[in-house]
Structure 1
Amino acid sequence: MIAVGLLYQPEKADVVVASGDADLVAIGRAMLDDANWPIHAAIALGDAAPWPKPYDRFGPQGWPTHHAR
């Protein structure tokens, strides 16, 4: 089962999967809003997210002009 619809917060997506309500959360809109959503979600959930080597200069918070939501 795939959960869809306004599940863009990592915590909510995690609860839906952990509770067994869905096997997968579709994150299409979240990815349109933030192309690095999987990395930012991992950080929000306390995981050590893999960070692409070319982005080391800026770190997991993104480009200097990027403002976390």
Structure 2
Amino acid sequence: MRMNGIGDRPIKTKVLIYFLPIIILAVILTGLASYLSAVSQLKKNAYSLLSDTLYQTNIFLKMINSLQF
């Protein structure tokens, strides 16, 4: 009589069954951490660039306003 459990499978299959979910989870968590880090950095850059644009526009408008008679 043959058993169909994990105990009678080859070692390669056992390793895949136990470690594949761990590897997949590690890849997913690394991707999530990378994504969240990138989102945070993009927000910081966007706010910084927006602030610079507003500052430069303000200077330009003041210059234009001072030239009017």
TM range (shorter): under 0.3
Q: Whose strand fraction is larger, Structure 1's or Structure 2's?
A: 1
Normalising by structure 1, we get a TM-score of 0.20
Normalising by structure 2, we get a TM-score of 0.20
